[in-house]
Structure 1
Amino acid sequence: MDNRQAIGSWLSGPRAAAEEMGVEFGYRGEGLGLPEKGSGSVAPLGRRFGALFIDWALCMLIAYAFLADGEPQRAGNWALLIFFLLSLLTVGTVGCTPGKRLLGLRVVGEDGGRLSLPRVLLRSALIAIVVPAVIWDRDTRGLHDRLARAVQVRI
């Protein structure tokens, strides 16, 4: 192995290096029994981040307009509470937040069904503290989804 190949494998990451050696990982969601593409497949990261941005902007707008008394710091604190409640109520009832709905996403259980209230509560609490959302598995599910046994899929 020459230096260029060693540096290239380091830059591309361990998964790319393993794939070059012939290791088969399959597609995202294969281990969950989800289709590779189309409706019911694992939602792409870009759409998930877009939905999160839409939901957060909506919560900030509500907090700033009705609860912050013109103080941006208070708006951020209220927005986090609104975000938690929005996630809890919308994912718990219709399976998606407004941002997810606009971008064609839904949160379902690993079995494909609706999440129970305790699982939605756990997921919403974990996503509100942010850290679990930035730790992913090979299916690009955040730790909050793994612990709640949930997956975000395309509608």
Structure 2
Amino acid sequence: MSTAVSDALLEPSRRPVAVATLTDVIDAEVADKSGFGGAAVKTGYAAAKRLGGGFVQNATDRLLPQFASALDPFWATKGEQPFGSHLAAQPDAVADALLAVTDAKAAKTTHTSAAKVYGSLRGKAKEHVVAALPRLGAAVERLVR
């Protein structure tokens, strides 16, 4: 049995690298967006980054335990295939599991600006998460191995 995603990513010496790597994945996914919908994502993301204090990286760090736990069952069933391919083969289940994490956090946040940005982007969030699954899976696989 391979190491669980949560065990690997939350290990104290690996966690900072995991947070930086996953923040890079988010940055790259946002940069790749185009068209009207892409402009909305880029505007929302820029607003989140303007919240200051390394908001995106800090949010990634705070949510990492829940995201890693959400990915654990998918990692456990990936077999020999690349993790990005495995995630992309079941997009609805993976996206729903990851969005459940952010939805729960958004529902409890007292940071009204962050909640407003999240709310403005939530309608199209699933399609953006699905599009990111191959890149996310590849990054997680590099971090776990």
The TM-score by the shorter chain falls in which range? Answer: 0.3 to 0.5
Higher percent of residues as strand: 1
Q: TM-score, normalised by structure 1?
A: 0.32
Higher radius of gyration, 1 or 2: 1
More helix by share: 2
Structure 2 length as normaliser, TM-score?
0.34
